Chain A
């Protein structure tokens, strides 16, 4: 297919989205990610039965935490597709990039820079 998807997405491979835990999502934001989305198999099609359903729940929990601490829960999303849906993968990637562009960069980056500036001045 040779489809192009936005280059600012860093793919982290996991054996199943069921492997993704809340802490992995939170750490990504701590390290400066502007957004995170988990792309799992279609619901009902998980090879391990419930991996993608668990991932969805964890994504929802991570979103709740991010909302509470002022980072914004919308920055974390769950998407489902089958392995044969390359074009849909590209569509989701573009959608995600657009959503994050609207939301702006991870506020922690700005905060970190300000703290550093303050430290340098002092």
Chain B
């Protein structure tokens, strides 16, 4: 899922000091799971903002809505009738959802209410970890299902580098060396011969180096 973190309220209010009515829009998908932008967080942010404005002597209408998804036009259409009633929208979906709201409603002021961080998983409640960088050309088959692009600070394809000490990365004692993990897992699988093979130069054009990316599936398009 896409992992996001709450934006400090101080930062959000800077952008919306002048509004008279505001819609807080949450998303029922990834940001609900990482407890940053679901229905519950919409309620908390809306309540906090209502009190913030009131405390400043401003009469601002702050309403709440949580969509099934903000990264699909269909779900965004559901709020078409209501968006006109507001000066601005604070979206607490991921960056994708926030941009899609703005694209769907071009005349609307849309602001982010979360900081979108990465694609990751819930290690335990309150701890989310990055596992994929969406490089566009998956190498997990060759690396014992440990991603060197995500988990190695240098993103090297033939590791480990000289900075790996006792299984940890040189940039932090808290970060495990991805290549140590790869070797350990390949050893456990009895497939260390895979490690002997050198990776050819990776085609980074499918990563961000090729600019913003698209997946085109003509078989699905109408």
Contact = CB atoms under 8 A, between A and B. Distances in A.
Interface of A: 21-23, 26-27, 29-30, 65, 68-71, 107-108, 111-112, 114-115, 119
Given A21-B40, A65-B44, A29 B51 contact: yes
B8 A23 contact: no
A29 B44 CA distance: 12
Contact of B10 (A22, A68, A112, A119): A68
A58 to B, nearest CB: 10
A22 B52 CA distance: 16
Contacts, number: 48
B43 interface: yes
A107 B9 CA distance: 19
Contacts of B55: 69-71, 107-108, 111
Contacts of B49: 69
A103 B113 CA distance: 31
Contacts of B10: 68
B62 to A, nearest CB: 11
B57 A115 contact: yes
B187 interface: no
Most buried by A among B8, B44, B59: B44
Interface of B: 8-10, 40, 43-44, 47-52, 54-57, 59
A65 B8 CA distance: 9
A111 B40 contact: no
Contacts of A111: 54-57
Given A65-B9, A68-B8, A26 B54 contact: no
B52 A26 contact: no
Contacts of B52: 68-70
Contacts of B9: 65, 68-69
A71 B51 contact: yes
Given A21-B40, A68-B9, A70-B52, A30 B47 contact: yes
B44 A115 contact: no
B38 to A, nearest CB: 12
Contacts of A23: 40, 43-44, 47
Given A23-B43, A23-B44, A27-B47, 9 more contacts: A22-B44, A23-B47, A29-B51, A30-B50, A68-B9, A68-B10, A70-B55, A111-B54, A111-B57
A65 B52 CA distance: 10
Contacts of B48: 26, 65, 68-69
Contacts of A114: 57
Contacts of A26: 44, 47-48, 51
B92 to A, nearest CB: 14
Contacts of A119: 59
A45 to B, nearest CB: 22
A8 B158 CA distance: 69
